[in-house]
Amino acid sequence: MSTKFNFFKEAVKNYKTSGTIVPSSRFLANKMLKNVNFSTANLIVELGPGNGAVTKQILKKLQPHTTLVCFEINDAFYNELLLIDHPQLKVIKASAEFLEIELEKIGLGAVDYIVSSIPLSILPKELSVAILKESFSVLKKEGLFIQFQYTLFYYKELKKIFSKNISLSFEPINFPPAFIYYCAKK
Ligand SMILES: C[S@@+](CC[C@H](N)C(=O)[O-])C[C@H]1O[C@@H](n2cnc3c(N)ncnc32)[C@H](O)[C@@H]1O
């Protein structure tokens, strides 16, 4: 990771898609990952990795048989992610709404876990709903969609797609403190 990289500057410049001004804490990243079974997961997808705050925590826990695919739309963040040298990491510069087709292009599908930092509540509604539908569709039957948000406003939209089982957690050691949703497909 380049030390010169200025997350704050890039995030402020693109606030409508970053939804924050500082990277997530490792406490938030690790709480997002607490329900991930790294010993059984074959494919983990991360949406909105930014400059890699959550990505780095996933990579620390990744087992040799697992692939991590990251989807990022921001050029500067994408270029930063390319600096992470890890044989099991694939970084795709595409929007999360194209998850299925982009995974197909690299011969992957059937996702075990989706770990998302995308600021769903500030995106245009059609886009955030498209991302949720796409996520639901690529997940395995036993799959889990994990999303953090700074408010509880988006709960009802998540519930429309992941109607079966949503549990909630909270991480105070983050700026701002964040809620985490664990949305089971079945
Ligand atoms: C809140 S930042 C999170 C960055 C990092 N994961 C963290 O937690 O510090 C949200 C990220 O989502 C990315 N993003 C926004 N819309 C996206 C989309 N449609 N597809 C993929 N990434 C997107 C932004 O560029 C930004 O990097």
* CATH number of the domain residue 144 falls in: 3.40.50.150
- Give domain status of residue 150, yes or no: yes
Structural domain total, the chain:
1
Residue-range definition of the domain harbouring residue 83:
7-184
In the chain, pLDDT over 70 holds for what percent of residues? Answer: 97
Q: How far, in Å, CA of 72 to CA of 85, rounded?
A: 17
- Give domain status of residue 1, yes or no: no
113: CA distance to ligand 1 center in Å? 17
> Above 90 in pLDDT, residue 21?
no
> Above 60 in pLDDT, residue 8?
yes
User: Average of pLDDT values for 83-105?
Assistant: 98
> Above 60 in pLDDT, residue 28?
yes
For residue 19, name the pLDDT band (cuts at 50, 70, 90): confident
User: Average of pLDDT values for 103-116?
Assistant: 97
Q: Which residues pair with 104 in a beta bridge?
A: none
Tell me the per-residue pLDDT of 38-89, one tens digit each, with 9 for 90 and over: 999 999 999 999 999 999 999 999 999 999 999 999 999 999 999 999 999 9
Q: Which of 17, 114, 127 to mutate to test the pocket of ligand 1 (most atoms within 8 A of CB)?
A: 17
Q: How far, in Å, CA of 65 to CA of 68, rounded?
A: 10
Task: Write the CB contacts of 12 (distance below 8 Å, at least 6 apart in sequence).
Answer: 18, 21
Q: Which of 56, 58, 72, 132 to mutate to test the pocket of ligand 1 (most atoms within 8 A of CB)?
A: 72
> Above 60 in pLDDT, residue 4?
no
Q: In Å, how far from its chain's centre is CA 169?
A: 16
- Give domain status of residue 58, yes or no: yes
76 to 5, 9, 116, 181: CA distances (angstroms): 9, 11, 19, 28
- Give domain status of residue 2, yes or no: no
Q: How far, in Å, CA of 110 to CA of 39, rounded?
A: 16
